[in-house]
Each structure stands twice: as structure tokens, then as C-alpha cells.
Structure 1
Amino acid sequence: MKIEKIHHVAYRCKDAKETVEWYRDMLNMDFILAIAEDHVPSTHEPDPYMHVFIDAGDGNVLAFFELPTKPDMGRDPNTPVWVQHIAFKVKDRDTLIEFKEHLEAKGVEVLGVTDHSIFHSIYFFDPNGHRVELACPDPEEDAMLEKLNAVKWDMLEEWSRTKKAPKHADWMHKKELTGL
């Protein structure tokens, strides 16, 4: 028994049409389908919604629910905005830079490029306030992943005991912190 892959990831949105158009225009994602009901199929509660599905590439699906009868969206005040996000992979650094320039030209504020050693990322927010990351692999990704794989369990055990960041992989962000 094993999970095959993620079927879709669903978030709430403020406006389904605006969301579909934003992901189409900003990230070149295709609108796959829409489902609308007056009752929730799983719980049977009366609650009209629009559920839209967007092609995030390679069989991955990003979905959103617009819930017009519910209070405005909020976020967990105890969770920093950088924590909850969705990350999409792009081919290479040139593509990442192209997206950065495209987004900025459309008025989207973009953070990065951030060098995580194994990959490089940019960050921004969609019109619903969801943080989005675009990431491309580093040319040395395979070798660095091997190094991380060798220490993952030791790091997890140390974290579990101490709740302090283990130093096994502190090399990852040294370039970002020191400018090397």
C-alpha cells in the first residue's frame, strides 16, 4: 500500500475568476475545470461554492474554493507568512529569472533569488494572500542531496531532543548569509 502522488492541493480564494486569470497570466497555468454546488458533497451541508482546478504542470493540479457565504479569509495569526506556501519547480535558473522579470513587470513584488544550495527560489503572493515559490534545481543538486540524505535522521533526532537547529547542513545557506 503506497500513495501514488498528490491528486490536487486545494486552497481558499477570494474570487475564483480573478484567481484563475491571475495564475493564467502570471504563471502560464491552464484552467482545467470548474465545479459548483449548493451543498458540500462530503458533509451535505448547504453551502454554495465554486471549485476551480488549474494545471500546475506534469499532472499536478492546484485547486481553489470560493466560499461567498463564509466570513472573509484570514490566516493563522500564530504562523508566520513565510511558512505556509506552495512551491512550483521550473526548469532552470534562466527560467526562474524570466518569471521574476515577468512578475515584476506585471506589478508583483518578488523576493529573491534565494540560493538554498540544492535549489534557487523566488517568492511572491497571489491575489488571495497565499505565498507562492518558484524553484529551480542547482547544477550540483544531486551531490548536495546525497549529503543531506546522509544526515537527515541525525538532524531529526537532534531537533526532536533539543528543538534547536542542528548544524549538520548549515553549509546550505552560508553563501546567502556571508555573501560567499
Structure 2
Amino acid sequence: MNLKGIHHVSALTANAEQNYHFYTDILGMRLVKKTINQDDPSVYHLFYADEVGNPGTDFTFFEIPRAGHTYPGISSISGTSLRVQNDDALVYWENRLTENGVDHDGITKQGGRQIIHFRDPEDQRLTLVSDETNAGVAGGNVWERSSVPADKGIIGLGPVKLTVQDPAPTVKVLTDILTFQETGDYPSPVSGQDDIRVFSTGEGGTGAEVHLEVRHDLPKERPGRGSVHHVAFRVDSEDELAKWIDRIKKERIPNSGLVDRFYFKSLYFREPNGILFELATDGPGFATDEDPDHLGESLALPPFFEDRREEIEAKLNPLDTKRPH
């Protein structure tokens, strides 16, 4: 039982159309699934990823049309990273973000890697991270019809940053229950705060890290549009997920039990600081119910929602996601 890295990150948006434009036209990611929030079928769940939505490349969004502003703070997933192949790609991105009026901080260094911190139109806290020195989990493949050149495009999710006030219980879950090991640290960009600690799992590298930030100067985060809902970690198979469910139960951690998301199977639980973790299987994947050439072009519903298609489609705002072929 060894978690393989980041599986996906799920965040909140108040505007699916604006969100779709930014992540496909500006960031060049592929919409690999246009479906519904299975816990609230009246709103979209959009999955952006590499060419086919390989595990470790999915950045997903629940649409909550009336979501308020996010007030950043502790007990949160406070940063999502997106991987690019090398340092040269970051030069391209610095220019591209500027040309498209995207708020960014330019190329800087963090933990020995070159990065760019930037924000989407809803102030989602994002970082482009270079894989120039990466020797861990491999990235995905840029979609051939991306709006960004293949050698510059986003190839997956990088480190996820957690912000807490008391790190001890979160560290205990990461290292004693999950399969993370502490592998380094780097200075906090905030004066007077502790160093940010780095935890890795599986093959390690940019696709398998959690960065833990301790802040004593912030209240608890009030989530809204631009906040992150949960992070999911990769489990190899459903059989292995069953073992994880047993382990979490033995630790007496309240959890969801097995949840069938159709495209993968999942387990959800909150670590002691209130951050929602998911363990998700690598398969069966997003081509289960759609032609790989046409992923994300129409509303996909898992079989257990198909008999409600007419009712569901009537409640959703139209969102045209067909791309020219």
C-alpha cells in the first residue's frame, strides 16, 4: 500500500463559462469531462487535464453560481501547482500570462525549482512549477489540439499546499497513516513564519508532494469561489482502496466508505485540521463512456444518473464545449 502521488484537485467556481474559457483557452488544458456534481446534480463538475485525463493531471471544478468571495486562512488547501516540462516553458508562460492580462508574480524560485505564482479570474491560488530537475512521478501529455505548444503545455498537477495552525496532527496523518515522508523544507515567503515543510510519497517529485505551511496570523479560511474543496491521492486499484478503507476505519477516522464516482472509486475523510482528503483509484478513467476524440464535448452522466438526464439538463445553464476538429 503506497500512495502514488496526487490524483486530482477539486476547486470551486461561480462561473462555469468563464472558468472553461480560462482553463482551456488561456492555460491550454483539455476539458476531458463535462459532468455533474454527483452530490448536487443541479450544477456542473468540470475536469481539466492532459490529453485523456491521466491520473495526476486532473484539476476539477464544482460550479456554485452564487458562491461568495474566499477569505484565505488556515485549515485549507491554499495552493495548487500545475507542472510544465522545464524552465524554458516558464519563460513562455511569463509572457503568455502577461499578454492575457493574468495576475502573476513573475518567475521566482521555491524549494530549488523555478515557479510562477498566479491567480485565475476568481483569485484561485495557482503556481506553475518547472519539471527541469524532476526525477519522480512522470507527467502527462499535452493534448495535440491545445491552445499552447506541446513543449510548453501543462503536463499535470504539482505540489499541493496545505495551510494549518497546528501542524502536528496533519503530519501524523500524512506520515503515520498515509505513506508520505518528510523530504525537505524551504523558507516561507511570509516574514516571521516557520519554514514550509515538504512531504513526498511514491516515486516522489513534483507530482507527489504536499507542502505544509504553518500560519499563526490567520483565521480559519472562509471558502467560496476560488477556493479548493479537496485533494485526492492516487491508489493503484480498487483492491488496494479496500485495504485503505480498512486502515482508515481501524484508525477510527470518520470516513465515507467506498464511493463509486464511475470514472474512479473513492474514499473521503478529513484530517484533524479539517482538510478534506480523498483516496482515488487510477481507473477506469474518462474514456469509459466517451470516445477519446470527443471527451468533454457533451454532458456525460454516470449510468446511475442517466434516467434523470432530461431533468438534470433542464436545470443546468447551457455550456458549449465543442471544439473545432
Measure how far apart 1:104 and its partner are: 1.2
Give runs of aligned pairs for residues 47-58 of structure 1, distance below 5 A: 47-58=192-203
Aligned residues: CA RMSD: 2.8
Q: For the structure 1 residues 15 and 36, does the alpha-carbon distance in structure 2 shift closer, same or farther, using more than 3 Å as the test?
A: farther
Measure how far apart 1:52 and its partner are: 1.1
Residue 243 of structure 2 corresponds to residue 74 of structure 1: no
Quick one: which of 6, 18, 26 aligns to 2:169?
18
Q: Is the 8 A contact 2:264 2:280 kept in 1?
A: yes
Residue 272 of structure 2 corresponds to residue 127 of structure 1: yes
Quick one: which of 146, 150, 172 aligns to 2:294?
150
Q: Is the 8 A contact 1:122 1:134 kept in 2?
A: yes
How many residues align? The count is 152
If each structure's strand is expressed as a fraction of its own residues, which one has the higher value? 2
Give runs of aligned pairs for residues 91-130 of structure 1, distance below 5 A: 91-130=236-275
In 2, Cα distance between equivalents of 1:49 and 1:29: 20
Aligned twin of 1:169: 300
> Please, what TM-score do these two structures have when normalized by structure 1?
0.70
Measure how far apart 1:170 and its partner are: 1.7
Q: Is the 8 A contact 1:30 1:54 kept in 2?
A: yes
Q: For the structure 1 residues 142 and 84, does the alpha-carbon distance in structure 2 shift closer, same or farther, using more than 3 Å as the test?
A: closer
Q: Residue 72 of structure 1 aligns to which amino acid in structure 2?
A: P
Q: Which runs of 5+ in 1 are unaligned?
A: 156-167
If each structure's helix is expressed as a fraction of its own residues, which one has the higher value? 1
Give runs of aligned pairs for residues 28-43 of structure 1, distance below 5 A: 28-36=179-187, 40=189
Q: Which moved more, 1:88-97 or 1:51-60?
A: 51-60
Q: Which runs of 5+ in 2 are unaligned?
A: 1-151, 309-325
Q: Residue 294 of structure 2 aligns to which amino acid in structure 1?
A: A
Measure how far apart 1:25 and its partner are: 1.3
Q: For the structure 1 residues 151 and 6, does the alpha-carbon distance in structure 2 shift closer, same or farther, using more than 3 Å as the test?
A: closer
> Please, what TM-score do these two structures have when normalized by structure 2?
0.41
Q: Is the 8 A contact 2:234 2:281 kept in 1?
A: yes
In 1, Cα distance between equivalents of 2:155 and 2:300: 30
Q: For the structure 1 residues 172 and 12, does the alpha-carbon distance in structure 2 shift closer, same or farther, using more than 3 Å as the test?
A: farther
